[in-house]
Amino acid sequence: MSEILMLVALLGNAVAVGVFCATVLGGVPLLLALPGEQYVHAHGFLATRYDPFMPITILVTSLSDLALVAAGPGAAVRVLGGAAGLLMVSVITVSLTKNVPINHWVAAQDPGALPDDWTERRSRWRRWNAIRSGLAGSALAVNLAAAFVTVL
């Protein structure tokens, strides 16, 4: 059972980190280079491609990691699974409290009449996206450590 949980956690975490890396390295620079009206349309197009796939992937990863706290083979794996799970719960928290509200705000904007604080809101989204990407990357490192401990 613990092997399946570890595999699911690693796979989900790796997929999430891959999507976040693609977003940080390609999507964000592309979006920030666009004028406001094009940004609103492009953002809407991209955002709908990741929902509900990313939230489900991150939730399943979190639950798998947290289940390792109870089912992990040994104290080290249980502690590492808990740490990775908490990092992934932090990704969920940042997503729900920071990125999702900005995404909804962007979707509600009239592309032809953007408010004065438009640039600052884009910068905030970029910053919070980088933070959640770092949290997911940290969770992947912890999950890999747990897998390494398992095979020793």
- Indicate the domain borders of the chain: 2-151
Q: What is the pLDDT of residue 152?
A: 80
Predicted local distance difference test score (pLDDT) of residue 88: 98
Task: Give mean pLDDT, residues 53-68.
Answer: 97
pLDDT digits (tens, 9 = 90+) for 71-100: 999 999 999 999 999 999 999 999 999 999
State the pTM of this model: 0.94
Q: What is the pLDDT of residue 51?
A: 86
Q: Provide long-range contacts, Cβ within 8 A and 24+ apart, for 106-114.
A: 106/39, 106/40, 106/43, 106/44, 106/47, 107/40, 107/43, 107/44, 107/47, 109/40, 111/36, 111/37, 111/38, 111/40, 111/41, 112/37, 114/36, 114/37, 114/40
